[in-house]
């Protein structure tokens, strides 16, 4: 996250993960990659418009005040990711809801949103620093802390970290992938096809950078919609398209709350990108 920015969509602080080489995912060769699409068994969430959803944060978490939005994108992405990984492992969603202690259902978006909010409180406590815990500070978090908390709760056996965009494409072969990136002001409005990054070129990224950084944002990769290879058998990043679930309601953007991004953009941002996948 980027310190000092609005907590409405984004948190305020960054918490870098320690080096844990045993978590590293070994990237599969390009020849083993395939186009894939993973189904997330809960609705698209909305970390804003909480009051319209009938959610009172002060009733969910002790010490919280009633607000209409939270910078909890990591936990909306984490809740959706956990639900997909859990059901892909053949485990019932109802059992997961019981273990979490909060509602989680394919037909109950409000219950799923409450789950993400409660998880946000638990995840921020992972830092051990009261200045970066919610409540009272809407501090944001990271994919690392989400994965760490879910492992602490014994809901997972751990997680893997993908190295760069090729690592993300490799992880996507098995399931959804949590994606942490800087988010630019130009990306708030996807184009008519759902792309936030134009044609995925370096020029398009520089234009987005020039528009200004809005914050750090966690979302969930759900599909490789288009996988392209070069004549030498390597991944053609500019022509490879990833579909990503956002947490700003199913009404955001032209493709039901999701967006599309070119693999080339993720490659250009590799120094600032994080890709994680839970192990169930």
User: In the chain, where do the E strands start and end?
Assistant: 36-37, 158-162, 177-184, 213-226, 241-245, 258-262, 274-279
pLDDT digits 0-9 by tens, 3-45: 333 446 786 555 556 778 889 999 999 999 999 999 999 999 9
What is the pTM assigned to this prediction?
0.94
Weakest-pLDDT range from 19-23, 35-39, 243-247, 262-266: 19-23
What's the half-sphere exposure (Cβ side, CA atoms, 13 Å) at 163? 10
Higher pLDDT, 11 or 270: 270
| Predicted local distance difference test score (pLDDT) of residue 245 | 98
Region class of 119: left (phi > 0), else alpha (psi between -120 and 50), else beta: alpha
| Predicted local distance difference test score (pLDDT) of residue 192 | 98
| Predicted local distance difference test score (pLDDT) of residue 3 | 37
Q: Are 100 and 141 in contact (CB under 8 A)?
A: no
pLDDT digits 0-9 by tens, 49-105: 999 999 999 999 999 999 999 999 999 999 999 999 999 999 999 988 877 888 789
Q: How far, in Å, CA of 15 to CA of 119, rounded?
A: 17
| Predicted local distance difference test score (pLDDT) of residue 2 | 32
Q: Are 243 and 223 in contact (CB under 8 A)?
A: yes
Q: What is the mean pLDDT of the chain?
A: 92
Choose which CATH entry (2.40.128, 3.40.630, 3.30.70, 3.90.70) describes domain 34-279: 3.90.70
């Amino acid at each position: 996250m980027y310190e000092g920015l609005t907590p409405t969509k984004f948190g305020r602080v960054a918490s870098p993960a320690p080096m844990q080489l045993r978590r590293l995912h070994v990237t599969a060769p390009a020849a083993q990659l395939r186009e894939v699409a993973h189904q997330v068994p809960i609705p698209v969430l909305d970390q804003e418009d909480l009051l319209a959803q009938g959610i009172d944060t002060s009733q969910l978490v002790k010490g919280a005040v009633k607000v209409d939005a939270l910078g909890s994108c990591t936990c909306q992405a984490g809740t959706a990711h956990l639900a997909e990984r859990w059901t892909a492992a053949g485990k019932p969603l109802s059992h997961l809801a019981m273990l979490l202690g909060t509602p989680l259902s394919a037909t109950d978006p409000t219950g799923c949103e409450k789950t993400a909010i409660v998880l946000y409180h638990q995840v921020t406590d992972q830092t051990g620093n009261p200045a970066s815990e919610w409540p009272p500070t809407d501090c944001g978090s990271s994919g690392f802390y989400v994965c760490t908390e879910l492992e602490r709760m014994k809901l997972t056996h751990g997680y893997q970290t993908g190295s760069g965009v090729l690592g993300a494409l490799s992880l996507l072969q098995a399931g959804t992938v949590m994606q942490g990136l800087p988010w630019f002001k130009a990306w708030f409005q996807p184009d008519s096809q759902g792309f936030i990054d134009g044609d995925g070129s370096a020029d398009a990224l520089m234009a987005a950078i020039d528009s200004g950084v809005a914050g750090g944002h966690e979302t969930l990769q759900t599909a490789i919609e288009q996988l392209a290879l070069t004549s030498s058998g390597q991944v053609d990043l500019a022509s490879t398209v990833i579909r990503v679930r956002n947490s700003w309601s199913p009404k955001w953007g032209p493709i039901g709350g999701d967006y599309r991004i070119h693999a080339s953009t993720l490659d250009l941002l590799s120094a600032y990108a994080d890709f994680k996948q839970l192990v169930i």
